[in-house]
A and B are shown apart, each in its own frame.
Chain A
Amino acid sequence: MTESAVQPETLADDVDHPVTRDVLIARIAADRRAGKDTSKDLKALLKIAGQENRAALDRLAK
C-alpha cells in the first residue's frame, strides 16, 4: 500500500507519523484547491488534532 493510499482511519491511529500526516494535510489542501470533497480526510485529521491536543481540550472542558 502506498502512502497516499493509506486510509484516513489508519492515519487517525498514526499520530506519531508526521510524514504521513503531512501527506494528509497536503492532500486536503490540494483537494480543497481543486474543489474536491475533503470531509473524510478532514475528519481523520481532526481526530489526530483532537488526540494531539487532548490535554488542552480536557482542560478547556473543565
Chain B
Amino acid sequence: MEDFYDAAAEALGADLATVRSITNETLAGSAIAAPSAGFGDFEQSLDFAAKAAVLLQAVASNHALPDGNKRSALLCAIAFATVNGYRWVPPSADEPDGTETAEVVEAASTRSIPLGALSAWVEFRLDEVPLPPPERLSERPPLVIYPAEYVGGITYADHTIEVGDLKIHDVHGYNPAGVYVRRISGKTDGISVAEIIITAVGDRYSQEELDAENAEAQHIRWGSRSTGVVGWLARQPTGVTATHSQMKSSRPTGRNPKRADDYVLGPRSLQEASDLGSHEWCRSGRQRGTRMTRTSDVEMPIGSCERNACARRFGDTRNHKGSTGCGCAR
C-alpha cells in the first residue's frame, strides 16, 4: 500500500499526506491485490508480465483516487516491475509525446484492451536486471541428495497409497511393487529444505537399475527457478498427483525429522507444468513413478516407448495407462 501511495504522490506531484487523505483505501487495496488473485494454489496470472498488466488495469480502472488514476497506474506498474528486478523500457513510439503509453493506459482504464494484449505490451516493456544472489545464498551448504532406499511393495486401496502417515491420493493404474524413498536436504534461497521423494514403480528395481537411478539423481539440479537451480520438484504438473511429498511432519521412513517450515520446494504454476514436455517424464525413476497417476484411458503396449525404459519398468501393460503411455511414444 505504501508503494501505491508513493506512486500516486509522484504521479500527482502531491505529498504523501495529501494522497493518503484522498485515497479510497478499499479500492486501492483491491487493485493492489489483483495480481495475486487466484484460487488455492492456483494463480490467475501466471507470468510476471500478466501480473503487472493486471495491476496496471486494476489501478487505472478502480478509481481509488479522485484524479490521476491512470498516471498512478503507470507508475504502480513501473514500481511493481522495479521491486521485482525489472527495468521498465518505454516504447519507442512514445517519442516525442508519450502517445503509445498514454493510449495503452487509457485503454486499460476503460478495460477496452484485452488483458492478453495488455500483458504482451507490458512484456515488451520489461527488461530483467541481473540481481545479486541473496545474502545467505552463497553461504548455503549444498543440497544433499541421498540414495533412494527401498521401502517395500505397497498395495493401494481407494486409489491411495499410504507410506507412514503420508497419503498419496489419486493413484491409478497398478499396485506399485516397489516403493522407494529419496531424501534431499540442504538450503536454497537461504531456507532449509528437507524433502522426501516417493517413487513407486511397477516392478522393484534391480540393484543395477537402482544404482543408475541414484547416479542420475546426482546430476539433477534441485530447487526453485528463481535461484537458477531447477529440478523436478519445482515442476510437478497439475493433474499428476504427488508421487513425491512435501511433508510437513511425517516421517515415513523414520529417517527424516523435519519442521513444518522446513521445506520450500513444490509445484509452481500451470505454466511451468506445461513447460515440461511429456518426453521429460520418461527420463528418470522419479518421473516414471509419476506415470501411474495419469488417468486417461489410452493403453500402451510393451516396447512402444522409444527408450524402452518405461515398459520395462511397468511390465504389465494391462494397467499401464496414460495419454501417451510413458510419454515417449508419439
Q: Is the CB of A55 within 8 A of B85?
A: no
- A contact residues, range: 20 to 34
User: Among the interface residues B82, B96, B98, B101, which one has the most CB atoms of the partner chain A within 10 A?
Assistant: B82
**Residue B86, interface by CB 8 Å:** yes
**Residue B38, interface by CB 8 Å:** no
Tell me the B1-24 residues at the A interface (CB within 8 Å).
2-3, 6-7, 10-11
**Residue A6, interface by CB 8 Å:** no
Docked complex Cα distance between A57 and B71 (Å): 6
**Residue A5, interface by CB 8 Å:** no
CB distance from A57 to the nearest CB of B (A): 5
Q: Is the CB of B102 within 8 A of A59?
A: yes
Q: Is the CB of A56 within 8 A of B101?
A: yes
**Which chain A positions have C-beta within 8 A of B83?**
28-29, 32, 38, 42
Interface stretch among B73-81, B113-121, B196-204, B304-312? Answer: B73-81
Interface string of B80-119 (1 = CB under 8 A from A): 0011111110100011111111100110000000000000
Question: Which one, A25, A34, A50, A55, contacts B82 given CB within 8 A?
Answer: A25
CB distance from B224 to the nearest CB of A (A): 12
Q: Is the CB of B2 within 8 A of A45?
A: no
* Interface size counted on chain B using CB atoms at 8 A: 38
Question: Which one, B75, B78, B98, B132, contacts A30 given CB within 8 A?
Answer: B132
Q: Is the CB of A55 within 8 A of B98?
A: yes
**Residue B135, interface by CB 8 Å:** yes
**Which chain A positions have C-beta within 8 A of B98?**
53-60
**Which chain B positions have C-beta within 8 A of A56?**
74, 90, 94, 98-102, 105
**Which chain A positions have C-beta within 8 A of B10?**
43, 46-47, 49-50
Q: Is the CB of A21 within 8 A of B102?
A: no
**Which chain A positions have C-beta within 8 A of B71?**
57, 60-61
CB distance from A29 to the nearest CB of B (A): 4
Q: Is the CB of A53 within 8 A of B97?
A: no
**Which chain B positions have C-beta within 8 A of A58?**
98
**Which chain B positions have C-beta within 8 A of A59?**
97-99, 102
**Residue A39, interface by CB 8 Å:** yes
Interface string of A16-52 (1 = CB under 8 A from B): 0010011001101110111000110011011101101
**Which chain B positions have C-beta within 8 A of A22?**
87, 129
**Residue B164, interface by CB 8 Å:** no
Q: Is the CB of B79 within 8 A of A42?
A: yes
Given A28-B82, A34-B135: A55 and B96 within 8 A (CB)? yes
Docked complex Cα distance between A60 and B101 (Å): 9
Docked complex Cα distance between A50 and B131 (Å): 23
**Which chain A positions have C-beta within 8 A of B70?**
60
Q: Is the CB of A60 within 8 A of B78?
A: no
CB distance from A39 to the nearest CB of B (A): 6
**Which chain A positions have C-beta within 8 A of B130?**
26
Closest to A21 in B: B87
Q: Is the CB of B75 within 8 A of A25?
A: no
CB distance from B166 to the nearest CB of A (A): 32
Q: Is the CB of B101 within 8 A of A46?
A: no
Instruction: Please list 25 pairs of residues, one from A and one from B, whose beta carbons are closer than 8 Å in the complex, sorted by A's number.
Output: A25-B86, A25-B129, A26-B130, A28-B83, A30-B134, A33-B134, A34-B134, A38-B83, A42-B79, A42-B83, A46-B6, A46-B75, A49-B10, A53-B74, A54-B98, A55-B94, A55-B95, A56-B90, A56-B94, A56-B99, A56-B105, A59-B97, A60-B71, A60-B102, A60-B106
Which of A's residues lie within 8 Å of B, judged by CB? 18, 21-22, 25-26, 28-30, 32-34, 38-39, 42-43, 45-47, 49-50, 52-61
4 nearest A-B pairs in the assembled complex, by CB-CB distance: A56-B98, A55-B98, A29-B85, A56-B101
